[in-house]
Homo-oligomer: A and B are copies of this chain.
Amino acid sequence: MSKLLIVGTVAFDAIETPFGKTDKILGGAGTYIGLAASQFGIDSNIVSVVGGDFPEEYLTMLQNKNIETSGIEIVENGKTFFWSGKYHNDLNSRDTLETQLNVLADFNPVVPEDYRDAKIVMLGNLHPGVQMSVIAQMTEKPKLIVLDTMNFWMDNTLDELLEVISKVDVITINDEEARQLSGEYSLVKAAQKIHELGPKYVVIKKGEHGALLFNHDNVFFAPALPLEDVYDPTGAGDTFAGGFVGYLSQTEDFSFENMKNAIIHGSNLASFCVEKFGTERMESLTKKEIYGRLQQFKNLTQFEIELS
């Protein structure tokens, strides 16, 4: 079992989908990654920043799941990062209604002393300068650095982003972003180009269409579980990443074969995340539910065919 250092926003979201809307609720990439990874019984710590308005009970909830919060700086006279968005009817696209950076605008991440030797680092979607600062604070070279990012940083801070990408082992990115970053429409070719930027492993997230894991000539695909209803896609990508790194932290096996399992675990957890608004489903999730649904993933994908 390896210590997992998570970097990502811990924030407020207000979400509207065709199925309803929420007031300000707990959100943020760091939160979703932490909740998903916590299912694997590992030690983790989130590096983030919140304002004085951030409820103590949210931190307590994370701590109760064995997620350390000593990396979450509290700026008493500041306000917590807030995002609000409205999903379209197909839930595949959304409009951002409001973004208040607040304390995130001046975020200067500090990695807690006892996590500077963490073997696994998960860099959630944030300014690449923040991500690089975290890498620089590690006193021992991590065994695995996983990066999540998005098109916003490609548009606005590409050079800094490419610098971070060159330092990581795994990048998770969605299909459109992979195309933008590589200039290739074919995802196979896009992954090849992204390998050349540094990452040995390229994970391309396709939302409801599943996720692809590339390691040069090796390719693995995990579908998204077909669900009767999706209520809120917020956090699904972060939950996927959290399941992926959580499983790898638990098993400490970074072979391609084991990464396949990590991808399945990530997809499995993401399938729960979208079933309720915000973090609600992830907070109540049990091991029994998780393993029951892994069986569904097996049923969905495994076949016996004669190769002769």
Q: Which residues of A contact B (CB under 8 A)?
A: 89-90, 185-189, 206, 209-210, 212, 218-221, 223, 226-230, 257, 260-261, 264-265, 291, 294-295, 298-305, 307-308
Contacts and interface: CB of A to CB of B under 8 A. Distances in A.
Contacts of A218: 299
B304 A257 contact: yes
Given A219-B226, A294-B307, 10 more contacts: A90-B185, A186-B227, A189-B228, A220-B303, A221-B223, A257-B304, A261-B304, A294-B305, A301-B303, A302-B302
Nearest to A212: B226
Contacts of A294: 305, 307
18 contacts: A186-B226, A186-B230, A188-B226, A188-B228, A209-B210, A212-B226, A220-B299, A220-B300, A221-B300, A223-B223, A260-B303, A261-B303, A264-B305, A265-B305, A294-B305, A298-B307, A301-B303, A302-B303
A210 B265 CA distance: 21
Contacts of A186: 226-230
Nearest to A218: B299
A259 to B, nearest CB: 10
What is the count of identical protomers in the complex? 2
A264 B210 CA distance: 17
Of A218, A260, A304, A305, most B-chain CB atoms within 10 Å: A305
Contacts of A303: 220, 260-261, 264, 301-302
A305 B298 contact: yes
Contacts of A206: 209
B188 A299 contact: no
A302 B305 CA distance: 11
A206 B206 CA distance: 13
B223 A210 contact: yes
Contact of A221 (B185, B260, B295, B301): B301
A298 B307 CA distance: 10
A291 B307 contact: yes
Contacts of A89: 185
Contacts of A90: 185
A226 B221 contact: yes
A90 to B, nearest CB: 7
A281 B211 CA distance: 28
A265 B223 CA distance: 18
A196 to B, nearest CB: 15
Contacts of A257: 304
B305 A219 contact: no
Of A89, A206, A219, A303, most B-chain CB atoms within 10 Å: A303
A307 B294 CA distance: 7
A138 B210 CA distance: 42
A271 to B, nearest CB: 12
